[in-house]
């Protein structure tokens, strides 16, 4: 039995927890402060909709001290909550290899202060929690893992976690050096996050819109923002994103 702790069960944490829970021989524990979400997962399971449709059995708690000793940890909190969340589950992670699947830089450095072995992670899947116990799988994509050099997990641990994720349906690559994908994601977020804020679109529709995708692929954030604004003005204003998201019509 391989036991995985998911620290932070929002959109990304929920997607990864639910997928991993489908792998035979894997037991997933999740911790999140949102009591209603945790209660729904405990009573009905964690449901994935959108690009996938299944319900997974997850053991969930609002208190990291409830988690048993785990083989792997997956940290999916917002960056500002990393230290407190991981410290709260420190006993369960004392013998674990722990990966950050968060956006931005500097998360691994925080993990290295708290846990014995750290994995550098970069992910492309995206989603949103649409109701307690329900996560919408919005955008697919690969995951890249590699040892965090100052306090690395072993190559075997990186390969094992990558294999589990791939078997779970989330294609994952184990690398000797995962800094390249991490910086690629930083550049990608620099191009997409302003566009998402400007249009109000989730990542899936944003990246699949042909006109917007041209701007994203160009890699020029300022140019993308300017051209996006002009396109929106030509179309008569901002889209009704509330209706768009509610209908899932994309």
Alpha-carbon distances of 78 from 1, 11, 85, 119, 202, rounded to whole Å: 29, 11, 10, 17, 17
Last residue of a domain, one of 153, 177, 201: 177
Q: What is the pLDDT of residues 105-141, one digit of tens each?
A: 999 999 999 999 999 999 999 999 999 999 999 999 9
- Report the 10 Å Cβ neighbour count for 3: 18
- Pairing relationship of beta strands 134-139 and 126-131 according to DSSP bridges: antiparallel
Q: What is the pLDDT of residues 35-81, one digit of tens each?
A: 999 999 999 999 999 999 999 999 999 999 999 999 999 999 999 99
* Pair (172, 198) in one structural domain: no
Last residue of a domain, one of 126, 161, 177: 177
CA end-to-end distance (rounded Å), the chain: 39
Provide the token pair at 210.
């042909």
* Pair (193, 170) in one structural domain: no
Note the pTM of the prediction, 2 decimals: 0.82
* Pair (235, 140) in one structural domain: no
The CATH number for 45's domain is: 3.40.50.720
How many domains, the chain? 2
Domain that holds residue 120: 2-177
* Pair (147, 200) in one structural domain: no
């Amino acid at each position: 039995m391989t036991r995985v702790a998911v620290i932070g069960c929002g959109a990304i944490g929920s997607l990864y927890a639910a997928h991993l829970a489908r792998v035979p021989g894997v037991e997933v524990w999740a911790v999140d402060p949102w009591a209603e979400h945790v209660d729904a997962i405990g009573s009905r399971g964690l449901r994935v909709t959108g690009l996938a449709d299944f319900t997974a059995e997850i053991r969930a708690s609002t208190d990291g001290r409830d988690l048993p000793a785990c083989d792997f940890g997956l940290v999916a909190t917002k960056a500002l909550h990393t230290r407190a969340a991981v410290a709260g589950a420190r006993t369960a992670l004392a013998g674990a290899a722990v990966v950050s699947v968060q956006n931005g830089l500097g998360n691994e450095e925080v993990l290295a202060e708290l846990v014995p072995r750290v994995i550098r992670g970069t992910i492309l899947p995206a989603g949103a929690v649409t109701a307690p116990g329900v996560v919408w799988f919005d955008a697919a994509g690969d995951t890249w893992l590699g040892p965090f050099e100052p306090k690395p997990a072993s190559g075997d641990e990186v390969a094992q976690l990558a294999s589990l994720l791939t078997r779970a349906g989330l294609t994952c690559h184990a690398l000797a050096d995962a800094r390249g994908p991490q910086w690629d994601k930083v550049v990608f977020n620099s191009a997409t996050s302003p566009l998402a804020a400007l249009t109000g679109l989730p990542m899936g529709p944003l990246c699949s819109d042909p006109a917007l995708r041209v701007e994203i692929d160009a890699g020029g954030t300022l140019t993308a923002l300017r051209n996006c604004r002009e396109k929106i003005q030509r179309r008569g204003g901002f889209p009704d994103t509330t209706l768009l998201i509610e209908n899932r019509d994309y």
